[in-house]
Structure 1
Amino acid sequence: MPMTSTYTKPEPARSEIDQIAGAAVIEFGTPWCGYCMAAQAPIAQALDAQPDVKHIKVEDGKGQPLGRSFRVKLWPTLVFMKDGREMARLVRPADAASITRALAELDAGN
């Protein structure tokens, strides 16, 4: 699945995220966040090489239950999951290489 460019509305429930089969990247951020905007090109580059990885963008903010359940503090935060389990996490990734390395952990977590 290619990179998702829009934020999911409404945000999915944590139980939905925990039930995703296979590999998934949950991206927490906001459309107005400068760090989030800067990270879009590296995220797209890394995910383009991984078409089987599901990408879900979640607009986070104060009182948003999904972000709080993952203890998100800074944006963007990428949570790499495999069959409902968190395998890796990146906060404010600056390059595609770090995202690619985290995606490799999903493959290693068979």
Structure 2
Amino acid sequence: MPYAAQHLSQPPSRDELDRLTGATVVEFGTPWCGHCQRAQPHIEQALQDRAEVAHIKVEDGPGQRLGRTFGVKLWPTLVFMKDGKEFARLVRPQTAQEVLDAVKTIAAAT
């Protein structure tokens, strides 16, 4: 199955994320952020064969509260969740392997 991130017109609430079931990667950043742009190929490569992992991209910035509830300070920040609980986090990933290792953490979580 081809890789496809879920772009939401309205970010989910923290309560909605906390109620999610299964494995989810929540990516905080912006389309214009250079660090975010450099990380995209790594994120896409790591998630391309992981259809069981939902990928939600959340545009972060002034007036966006969701990132603050996760303590996001730098972009991109990837929060790896399983059944609504955070199991891993990456800030500015440099390789696809880093992202894949964190994905494996949530896949193995019970």
TM (norm. structure 1) is: 0.94
Q: CA deviation at 1:102?
A: 0.3
1: CA distance, partners of 2:20 / 2:7: 18
2:33 matched to which residue of 1?
33
2:82 matched to which residue of 1?
82
1:8 matched to which residue of 2?
8
Equivalences for residues 1-110 of structure 1 within 5 A: 2-4=3-5, 7-110=7-110
8 A Cα contact 1:7 1:59, kept in partner: no
Unmatched 5+ stretches in structure 1: none
Amino acid of the structure 2 residue aligned with 1:90: L
Identity %: 55
Secondary structure of the 2:41 match is: helix
How many residue pairs were aligned? Answer: 109
Alpha-carbon displacement from aligned partner over 1:5-57 (angstroms, at most 9, x marks no partner): x7422111111111110000000000100000011100000001211000000
8 A Cα contact 1:26 1:79, kept in partner: yes
Alpha-carbon displacement from aligned partner over 1:32-88 (angstroms, at most 9, x marks no partner): 000000111000000012110000000000231110000000000000000000000
1: CA distance, partners of 2:50 / 2:32: 26
2: CA distance, partners of 1:106 / 1:70: 17
Q: Deviating runs (4+, > 6 A) in structure 1?
A: none
TM (norm. structure 2) is: 0.94
1: CA distance, partners of 2:43 / 2:61: 21
